[in-house]
Amino acid sequence: MERMSFDLAQVPLREVNTFLHKDAPARGVRQVVVTNPDGAHNIAVGLDCPVEVEVHGHAGYYAGGMNKTGTVTIFGSAGTGVAENMMSGRVHVKGFASNGAGASMHGGLLVIDGDAGLRCGISLKGGDIVVGGSVGSFSAFMAQAGRMVICGDAGDALGDSLYEAVLYVRGNIKSLGADAQIEPMTEADFATVKELLTAAGMQHDPHDFKRVASARNLYHWNADADQEY
């Protein structure tokens, strides 16, 4: 299996992404290593082949965005919008993630070993997010589908305007957003949490988690309820 390495201190990022988009699938390259990322934005975006990309260092905005079938591992922290609009595959941040991690994801798995910033999983449309640490305020805002496992705490307004996504939180929840509620865990929920923790390489007792889902009061406008937005 061919393995390629790129040093961003020596080559421009455009060359790396062009290789990932064109040459890697054409040549059947399955492993690409990127060194000295130095916080560069848009590393390994738009992957459309089963290539494994290792980023050794910190990544900037939108690393691994629009991923399809690829595997991106960041051996450091990631800036805003990591794995944004991911369709499938896996993105793993070994450090921390900034705001909007996993925004508008449709599928795949995003793993963050550390904490995530504000609005993690905003407008989630599918796929799974597992956060080893805590998440900031307004995480899972308008999350429409998919699952999130939060092993630490959650900030203000968790799950505000939640639709069909389900959240599992191990730590404290500072506050729930509009139409989000804590529900009893079922055996199916325990199995789901175990499955996702195993996929993320994390070990916690699924029985320590709380389930957060939509109360479904905002699904339809009710003129008699004096609803305000």
- Could you read off the pLDDT of 180-214 as tens digits, one per residue? 999 999 999 999 999 999 999 999 999 999 999 99
The pLDDT, as a whole number, for residue 3 is 85
pLDDT tier at 225, thresholds 50, 70, 90: low
pLDDT tier at 217, thresholds 50, 70, 90: confident
Per DSSP, the residues of the chain read --EEEEETTTS-HHHHHHIIIIIHHHHT--EEEEE--TT-SSTT-S--S--EEEEES-B-TTTTTT-SS-EEEESS-B-TTTTTT--SSEEEESS-B-TTTTTT--SSEEEESS-B-TTTTTT-EEEEEEESS-B-TTTTTT--EEEEEESS-B-TTBTTT--S-EEEESS-BS-B-TTEEEE---HHHHHHHHHHHHHHT----GGG-EEEEE--SSSS--GGGT---
Contacts of residue 139, defined as CB under 8 A and 6 or more positions apart, other chains included, come to: 116, 118, 119, 120, 121, 122, 148, 150, 154, 155, 158, 159
Q: Give Rg (Cα) of the chain.
A: 18
- Structure token pair of residue 56: 């050794």
Quick: pLDDT tens for 9-64: 999 999 999 999 999 999 989 999 999 999 999 999 999 999 999 999 999 999 99
- Structure token pair of residue 152: 């630490």
- Structure token pair of residue 58: 């910190």
Give yes or no for residue 220 having a pLDDT over 90: no
The pLDDT, as a whole number, for residue 175 is 98
pLDDT tier at 228, thresholds 50, 70, 90: low
| CA dist., res. 9 & res. 122, Å (int) | 33
Which residues pair with residue 129 across a beta bridge? Answer: 110, 148
Give yes or no for residue 227 having a pLDDT over 80: no
| CA dist., res. 193 & res. 204, Å (int) | 9
- Structure token pair of residue 99: 């705001």
Quick: pLDDT tens for 103-143: 999 999 999 999 999 999 999 999 999 999 999 999 999 99
What's the rounded mean pLDDT across residues 143-172?
97
The CATH number of the domain holding residue 50 is 2.160.20.60
The pLDDT, as a whole number, for residue 2 is 77
Number of domains in the chain: 1
The pLDDT, as a whole number, for residue 215 is 92
pLDDT tier at 221, thresholds 50, 70, 90: low
Quick: pLDDT tens for 68-86: 999 999 999 999 999 999 9
Contacts of residue 14, defined as CB under 8 A and 6 or more positions apart, other chains included, come to: none
Strand 71-74 and strand 90-93: pairing?
parallel
Query: What range defines the domain where residue 129 resides?
Result: 3-225
Burial class (CB in 10 A: 0-12, 13-18, 19+), 86: buried
Mean pLDDT is lowest, of 86-90, 220-224, 225-229, for: 225-229
